[in-house]
Structure 1
Amino acid sequence: MLLKEVNYQIQGVELAEIAKEFGSPVYVYDAEKILSQFQRLKNAFSGVNLKIKYAAKALTNQAILKLLNKAGSGIDVVSLQELELGLLAGFEAKDIMFTPNCVAYEEIQAGVKKGVTINLDNLPFLEKFGKEYGSSVPCCIRINPHIDAGGNVKIMTGHKESKFGISIEQFPEILNIVSKYNIDIIGLHIHSGSDFKSADAFVKAADILFDLSNNFKNLRFLDFGSGFKVAYKEGDYTTDIAELGEKMSSSFQQFCKKYGRDLELWFEPGKFLVSESGYLLVQTNVVKETPDLTFVGVNSGLNHLIRPMMYGAYHSIVNISNPSGVEKPYNVVGYICETDTFGSGLVMNEVREGDILAIKNAGAYGFSMSSNYNSRFRPAEVLVYKGKAHLIRKRETMEDLLRNQVNLEL
């Protein structure tokens, strides 16, 4: 729907003016869109104690974290560094869920010292945790439900061969360890992947978690992760948030009644909250015609937005410098010394050298997965908040590339 509309503004601020003021490439985020997505999810649920924990790995800029903290969100983190960023942004430890995977056990201990909720996803660490803390430190357990759901296999996390979570087939071992050390289990967690087409995948996971929950008497919450699908192009399917809220609210209320008291219902959206808010603005370096194709080479690449090359992700791209130009097919490619394609066979208004292109849906896993490959600088970030564009991260410089290198006289 929105993808079809010609909209080169954010809150009345022209994207072209942002590129002119801050240079390119530059990431631009719409604060209003982030807040509206947060409110949309919150409003979809009724009669339950819903807690939204923003999946910080999608975008960790302090301004974004502060924005969501102010809106009333909690946060889900997967590293000690994300944990520290969350605390710096003002999140209280009680509102932070720490869900690391394949880390050193010392990170678990550090998380405990910070006072955050620990989410354990393997039996060896559950055993160590029990030995060290017994019932003195409550924790959550991440279950792998063996559900094949979601989009790209790289983001499916709940299938049998996934590294994430403790296999549901090992549930008797979980119970033995919990009983042995009298571990205080306050939450159960499932995250099956991403890009779910309907609410049914969550309902299916909920039925599994509801059944397992009867083995724990001190639960405070059940966490269903995320995986809400957003639209990347016209006609793309999305997760029906209203349907999700209605079905999950109803089933959760029924569960709580059987369980004997009300628990909190947690979700951990990342892409859903920030993806559609973001644009990566790039400048055309060259329009290169071949007998078969026309390439548009831009001043960015997989070092700034790796999703198309890593996941085969589609990102709509528009020419904001020539909105009335004749439409032509292009392959938009980057400046990295690799096969580095943002999009193939894209129909855009005629592109000329120097034109600014806007890559849409770039708010999630764009900057956060960026790198200095080819020794390129990472871009600046701008947040449009209350009708004004604010610089929230400076563009890197040569000094940044050299900052941690140690000069060796040879």
Structure 2
Amino acid sequence: MENENLLAIAREFGDPIYVYDASKIISQYNRLNNAFDKVKKVKLNYAVKALSNLAILKLMNSLGAGLDTVSIQEVNLGLKAGVKPANIIFTPNGVSLEEIEQVSSLGVQINIDNLSILEQFGTKHPNVPVCIRVNPHVMAGGNSKISVGHIDSKFGISIHQIPHILRIVENTGMNINGIHMHTGSDILDVEVFLHASEILFETAKNFKNLDFIDFGSGFKVPYKEGDIETNIEEFGQKLTKRFNAFCKEYGKELTLGFEPGKFLVSEAGYFLANVNVIKQTTSTVFAGIDSGFNHLIRPMFYNSHHEIINISNPDGKERFYSVVGYICETDTFATNRRISEIKEGDTIAFKNAGAYCFSMASNYNSRYRPAEVLWHNEKAHLIRKRETFDDLIKNQVDVDIFSTVVEEA
């Protein structure tokens, strides 16, 4: 997106505000889909948790993507966006049997990641098709908080417990139609994916009536100019060859599944904020903005890098700034970052703000969550209104129980 478009959106809708470029989402979807164009059946299920706005889900549906969901609320969002139940997979962790049964009753594909629930669900619903999430014990991901396939992870059923899975399946007579894994996020090395994939292929051989194999996602996207990223085209070429060979060996054309989230929406997103104050100390120049980690927590939570540009003065002389928020804690977005000269009142933009940004926002410090805009066909569409004070208190119950205490005192 051009700076003038972003500035116009900030002027029209106010800031802070999230902006998503639909054309970038579409191009990322097509890029991943094209990487596997030699596979007969491919299913990309967008990971709703990355960005769950209904407009985004409708866009994914229009592209032909399914949805990967982790809560019954995400399932209901998908249904409300017009996605068919058969195009939704439910991959929760640590939820109750009751929630899984509720989702199953909607016609959604169930994915179970622990032995206890697998046995309980299989006993009660042996005819319902179930996918099994395995833990391949592959350490992968940008950092420990987003690496989920290692031996100590809470996710998935250990590959060393395959005999337990097979015993449950035999005893219950349940229908296993899919095998799934997800090793982590921000994985750069294609060979890590391929190594984990071999483990998944070996696991799949234990089940004779599969419809699909889901390889998860976790592809690394670039966070700044010149940054490294997963070579999707190389991965597509190598996994396609291996997957097609496995299908021939298996004796059936299976569907190859992925559940991309960050890959599809991260680079499409921009977070715009106004500069409230420039504060010079003895050693640092702070640019304090009208936002904080209540709106964008990833730099504080994951130590993630978001490129920051001054769209009000993009060609100005560069200086070093520490960009900080207005939360009454240390909420630092960047330390001594080289940015075009910033003045109070300027609008700055955080890049790569499409994934796990608004979806992790909160009302901490009783601040309102920001608006969201989708840029599509050269036009800005408001897809979420900015919160108001009424939104902040709408679920609070104003109880009148303290007057008696005051009188007794």
TM range (shorter): over 0.9
Aligned-pair distance for 1:18? 0.6
- Give the aligned residue type for 2:225: E
Cα distance in 1 between the residues matched to 2:166 and 2:336: 54
1:171 has 2:165 as partner: no
Q: Which runs of 5+ in 2 are unaligned?
A: 403-409
- Tell me the alpha carbon deviations over residues 279-306 of structure 1, each in whole angstroms, 9 at most, x when there is no partner: 0000000000011000000001100000
Match of 1:70 among 37, 62, 67: 62
- 1:4 aligns to what? none
- 1:46 aligns to what? 37
- 1:214 aligns to what? 205
Does structure 2 retain, via aligned residues, the 8 Å contact 1:198–1:244? no
- 2:52 aligns to what? 60
- Tell me the alpha carbon deviations over residues 327-374 of structure 1, each in whole angstroms, 9 at most, x when there is no partner: 100000000011101111111111000000000000000100000000
Aligned-pair distance for 1:164? 0.2
Farther off after superposition, 255-264 or 229-238: 229-238
Cα distance in 2 between the residues matched to 1:173 and 1:338: 48
Match of 1:295 among 265, 268, 286: 286
1:121 has 2:86 as partner: no
- 2:359 aligns to what? 368
Does structure 2 retain, via aligned residues, the 8 Å contact 1:8–1:320? no
1:316 has 2:307 as partner: yes
Cα distance in 2 between the residues matched to 1:309 and 1:278: 18
Alignment of 1:140-289 (within 5 A): 140-289=131-280
Cα distance in 2 between the residues matched to 1:326 and 1:33: 29
Aligned-pair distance for 1:209? 1.0
- Give the aligned residue type for 2:90: F
Match of 2:326 among 313, 332, 335: 335
Aligned-pair distance for 1:41? 0.4
Q: SS at the partner of 1:114?
A: coil
- 2:406 aligns to what? none
1:8 has 2:14 as partner: no
- Give the aligned residue type for 2:135: N
Cα distance in 1 between the residues matched to 2:98 and 2:92: 11
- Give the aligned residue type for 1:151: G
- Give the aligned residue type for 1:62: L
Farther off after superposition, 24-33 or 231-240: 231-240
Cα distance in 2 between the residues matched to 1:385 and 1:234: 24
Does structure 2 retain, via aligned residues, the 8 Å contact 1:46–1:246? no
1:82 has 2:82 as partner: no
Aligned-pair distance for 1:324? 2.5
- Tell me the alpha carbon deviations over residues 204-234 of structure 1, each in whole angstroms, 9 at most, x when there is no partner: 1111111111111110000010001000012
After TM superposition, where is structure 1 displaced by more than 2 Å over at least 4 residues in a row?
Answer: none
Cα distance in 2 between the residues matched to 1:82 and 1:261: 32
Cα distance in 2 between the residues matched to 1:199 and 1:72: 26
Does structure 2 retain, via aligned residues, the 8 Å contact 1:199–1:247? no
- 1:3 aligns to what? none
Q: Which runs of 5+ in 1 are unaligned?
A: 1-6
Aligned-pair distance for 1:132? 0.2
Does structure 1 retain, via aligned residues, the 8 Å contact 2:159–2:203? no
Aligned-pair distance for 1:244? 1.1
Cα distance in 2 between the residues matched to 1:200 and 1:379: 40
Cα distance in 1 between the residues matched to 2:5 and 2:21: 12
Q: SS at the partner of 1:399?
A: helix
Aligned Cα root-mean-square deviation (Å): 0.8
- 2:405 aligns to what? none
Q: How many residues align?
A: 400
- Give the aligned residue type for 1:274: V
Does structure 2 retain, via aligned residues, the 8 Å contact 1:326–1:350? yes
Aligned-pair distance for 1:131? 1.0
- 2:385 aligns to what? 394
Cα distance in 2 between the residues matched to 1:324 and 1:75: 41
Does structure 1 retain, via aligned residues, the 8 Å contact 2:273–2:349? yes
Aligned-pair distance for 1:46? 2.7
Q: SS at the partner of 1:185?
A: strand
Cα distance in 1 between the residues matched to 2:211 and 2:354: 32
Cα distance in 2 between the residues matched to 1:305 and 1:280: 8
TM-score by length of 1: 0.96
1:22 has 2:13 as partner: yes
Aligned-pair distance for 1:171? 1.0
